[in-house]
A and B are shown apart, each in its own frame.
Chain A
């Protein structure tokens, strides 16, 4: 079965915002991998990745594993991952599987952007992302 995921990538000054639409499962992996060479980081010195899941209807454990791999790669390649728009149910699942050790959860991309701006201006809240 083909992937039911659509992606739209919007760069901003210090990072990338990716909006996902559809289902996030094992079939989504090739599509997500194809948009970027993740092992080389976000490119152009970008340090922040926002994944907007507002229009994602279904996430399974394979999809969550994919998110964790992206976030772990970010630690190695010096970018921070923010997830926004996840439903309360999926936020609960993210905590269960430990995804929140690697990513910050925000209600929407506006909140994530505000946090990024604070980070960029040096207001980091005791050095935490």
Chain B
């Protein structure tokens, strides 16, 4: 009985984690159905709460320790936005990368990246390097949770027209509560998100994907940031997210029209963002309202402004401000504003953020909170220059071989724009496969129907969207065939599904989404120097 009882908590925690992860994958499959997305978010949140309960139960029994930022913080500190595996995140659609399956296969990789770590999330090993009996399964599940969260938040480093969006995040514990996102809506608009889940650890591991899922689902339904926050708030308040998350959830959403240089922003209990013009005092954009999940009837308000050339819009989480030095002094708004004011016109956002975060770390603070920065730059460092295009789109009729035209044009563009990335061949192969699939399977080689290809280049990430007018396909079927290791003995079947397989292997992240206008495969590629 004692043996059974010892196993009960880790088993329960593991089961809850797996149930939560399963709910996430299921949610992705049904994502376009909004009710299902909300339900899935609820299941994920419930799982997060339950997993947190199981974890705490284990802690009380002395089976494992939650990560202690005071001792594990330095080890756990890492750059997230830049160093994460990309994007096996989600975007209102299917995660085609089967994170669970991949993680199962690569589960040993996580500790290898952090050799000094005693085990996932602070699980102690015995004197011979072994974890206590019954803890290994939990450690494996925690590694899985960390990896799931990591994959949910692809790096943000993209350019759209004259704007550039960059985010950097460093977590105080291995599983952080900060979240950020940027969703490209079309060739001019991008929605950005920043937030801070009150809890950490396992709760955060599930809350963060649930919130991203909800955001990515709602943002595709349209409306301004205030309306988006209102819809998200009603879902979250309806399922009692405040108690599940351990408090209301502060969130800020911006909707950027890069062509007009216009930002529409609304905040829900999130620290007021700054508008920064080099050489001038930073200006705060007021947006006071309750965090999400607290009051079902809460109303949010959009603030709209136009960027001046060279201006920057800076979002941040409270961990930046509340970072506390060894003598107890808080970093505070004054220092942050001084950093903003001193930001040189020609310094890219990524460099400025790294310097700020590194500077905070040099203060040897006893860090208890994650720190995240998300910056939108408008012609930064190039005041007076109206446009800085780093993107292209094509539209081709659905004819056999149409992918060759795209492949040739794209290869030429990549040599021009992204020569140092080392990814040209991978990208051309993936995009050609996606275009071929779209023309043949999506549009049935109907020449009246077109395949649209959009590419956007960032400093270290490239996004490509291939859209057709068909009903799309279900990546789940591809997954299950691949999981089963199916092989065709019939020669005629050879090659079937290889296009998707190549996309799966060669992209850093891809998703498939459906909307009333058709079906879209969205592929993300990191330049080689940013790949893990």
Contacts and interface: CB of A to CB of B under 8 A. Distances in A.
A62 B399 contact: no
B491 interface: yes
Q: Is the interface of A mostly helix, strand, loop or mixed?
A: helix
Given A60-B432, A60-B436, A89-B429, A65 B494 contact: yes
B425 A58 contact: no
Contacts of A66: 495
Interface in A53-110: 58, 60-62, 64-66, 68-69, 72-73, 87, 89, 93, 96-97
B494 A68 contact: yes
A60 B491 contact: no
B425 A87 contact: yes
B160 interface: no
B397 to A, nearest CB: 10
A58 B494 CA distance: 19
Given A68-B494, A93-B502, A60 B403 contact: yes
Contact of A23 (B404, B436, B498): B404
Contact of B502 (A26, A69, A97): A97
Contacts of B399: 1
Given A61-B433, A64-B495, A96 B401 contact: no
Interface residues of A, number: 23
Given A1-B399, A60-B432, A93-B429, A68 B404 contact: no
A58 B404 contact: yes
B495 A65 contact: yes
Nearest to A22: B404
Nearest to B426: A89
Interface in A1-42: 1-2, 4, 23, 25-27
Nearest to A95: B505
Contact of A72 (B432, B436, B491, B496): B491
Contacts of A2: 401
A27 B400 contact: yes
B407 interface: yes
A66 B494 CA distance: 8
Interface residues of B, number: 23
A2 B401 CA distance: 8
Contacts of A93: 429, 502
Given A61-B433, A72-B491, A89-B426, A1 B401 contact: yes
Contacts of B404: 1, 4, 23, 25, 58
B495 A61 contact: yes
A26 B404 CA distance: 11
Contacts of B491: 69, 72-73
Interface string B459-502: 00000000000000000000000000000000100111011011
B22 interface: no
Contact of B498 (A1, A64, A73, A89): A64
Given A61-B499, A87-B425, A97-B502, A69 B494 contact: yes
Given A1-B400, A1-B402, A27-B401, A60 B429 contact: yes
A115 B499 CA distance: 32
Contacts of A60: 403, 429, 432-433, 436, 499
From B404, B425, B496, B501, residue with most partner A Cβ within 10 Å: B404
A87 B428 CA distance: 14
Interface string B498-531: 1101100100000000000000000000000000
A62 B495 contact: yes
B498 A65 contact: yes
B240 to A, nearest CB: 46
A105 to B, nearest CB: 16
Contacts of B426: 89
From A23, A60, A93, residue with most partner B Cβ within 10 Å: A60
Contacts of B432: 58, 60
A4 B401 CA distance: 10
A62 B436 contact: yes
B433 A25 contact: no
Given A60-B433, A61-B433, A97 B400 contact: no
B236 to A, nearest CB: 42
Nearest to B399: A1
A61 B400 contact: no
A97 B401 contact: no
Nearest to A89: B425
Nearest to A63: B495
Contacts of B400: 1, 26-27
A27 B407 CA distance: 15
Contacts of B494: 65, 68-69, 72
Interface in B172-224: none
A26 B432 CA distance: 12
Nearest to A68: B494
Nearest to A2: B401
A93 B498 CA distance: 10
Contacts of A89: 425-426, 429
14 contacts: A1-B401, A2-B401, A25-B401, A58-B428, A60-B429, A61-B501, A62-B495, A65-B496, A66-B495, A68-B494, A73-B491, A89-B425, A96-B505, A97-B502
Given A61-B495, A72-B491, 9 more contacts: A4-B404, A25-B404, A26-B401, A58-B404, A60-B429, A60-B499, A61-B498, A65-B496, A97-B498
9 closest cross-chain pairs (CB), A and B: A65-B495, A1-B401, A61-B498, A89-B425, A61-B499, A65-B494, A69-B491, A68-B494, A96-B505
Interface of B: 399-404, 407, 425-426, 428-429, 432-433, 436, 491, 494-496, 498-499, 501-502, 505
